Amino acid sequence: MILKNLSKRYLVSGEYLPVLDDFTLSIEPGTITALVGPSGCGKTTLLRLIGELEQPDEGELVKSVEERGPLSYLFQEPRLLPWHSVLHNVELVMRPWYPEKEERIARARDFLTMVGLSDFTTFKPDQLSGGMRQRVAIARAFAYPGHMLLLDEPFQSLDTNLRWALVNAFLKLWNAEKRTTIYVTHDVPEALLMADTVIRLSSRPMRILENHTIGTPREERSLGSPEFLALQARFYT
């Protein structure tokens, strides 16, 4: 996917606030790209433009054939329908793509099992903990046949242990089916462990400060290794 000369501004108190100004980026299909930058720099705006939840003022998005079509979105909050069960929340989004109910239910159950929630399918979201709700959202995002995965700091509000458990759950599902993933975060270690490419962004109007491709396979990465310590030091400056 290529983001070509994207510009986006918002009208705030009578003045135009430029969030993106002539922003260009190329993303490799079938990889995880992490967008790292300070809060409020425009990462989420960029993700919303890619997800077509908003339109750019200028510029265009060019997607490859395999990236066109439905998109799976993982938000900062789980955004589950509180009146539906866990299974129903996952199964509901798949209806247009899987008309056969049995097939749909089986697929929803499979993904819920993969995130360790097979015993909670009949529960309502308010009967689950915050981490379990986010796991349902992960299962929903993967069960939905989105051609791309868009992640907007989905693990941000969780404690460290839970966060790593969810990152692992996410990677397990992603490895099974490598979809183009764009991942917004301000957590540098998380980005370094998860992504194929980490893009460091400036504050508003957002520009690319560094575009770093990580060559080390995910399973061999360690935050304590000299390579990753150096990367962390560089990305935190």
Residues that bind other proteins (CB under 8 A): 51, 53, 70-73, 75, 77, 79, 81, 83-84, 92-93, 95-96, 122, 140, 144
Q: Closest approach of Cβ 224 to other proteins, in Å? A: 37
Q: Beta strands 71-74 and 58-62: pairing type? A: unpaired
Question: Looking at beta carbons only, is 148 or 192 nearer to other proteins?
Answer: 148
Decide: 33 and 195 in contact? Cβ < 8 Å: yes
Question: Looking at beta carbons only, is 102 or 219 nearer to other proteins?
Answer: 102
| CA torsion angle 90 93 99 100 (round to 10) | 0
Question: Looking at beta carbons only, is 137 or 199 nearer to other proteins?
Answer: 137
Question: Looking at beta carbons only, is 95 or 101 nearer to other proteins?
Answer: 95
Question: Looking at beta carbons only, is 81 or 223 nearer to other proteins?
Answer: 81
Q: Taking Cα atoms as reference points, which of 92, 91, 124 lies closest to residue 108? A: 91
Q: Closest approach of Cβ 23 to other proteins, in Å? A: 21
Q: Can you tell me the distance from the alpha carbon of 225 to that of 229, in angstroms, rounded to the nearest whole number?
A: 6
Decide: 226 and 204 in contact? Cβ < 8 Å: no
Q: Closest approach of Cβ 95 to other proteins, in Å? A: 7
Q: Is the preceding peptide bond at 217 cis, omega within 30 degrees of 0?
A: no
Q: Closest approach of Cβ 228 to other proteins, in Å? A: 33
Q: Closest approach of Cβ 177 to other proteins, in Å? A: 18
Q: Taking Cα atoms as reference points, which of 195, 77, 201, 194 lies closest to residue 140? A: 77
DSSP reduced 3-state for 76:
coil
208: Cα separation from own chain's centroid: 19
Q: For Cα atoms 100, 30, 235, give the angle at the middle one, nearest 5 degrees.
A: 130
Question: Looking at beta carbons only, is 1 or 137 nearer to other proteins?
Answer: 137
Q: Closest approach of Cβ 108 to other proteins, in Å? A: 13
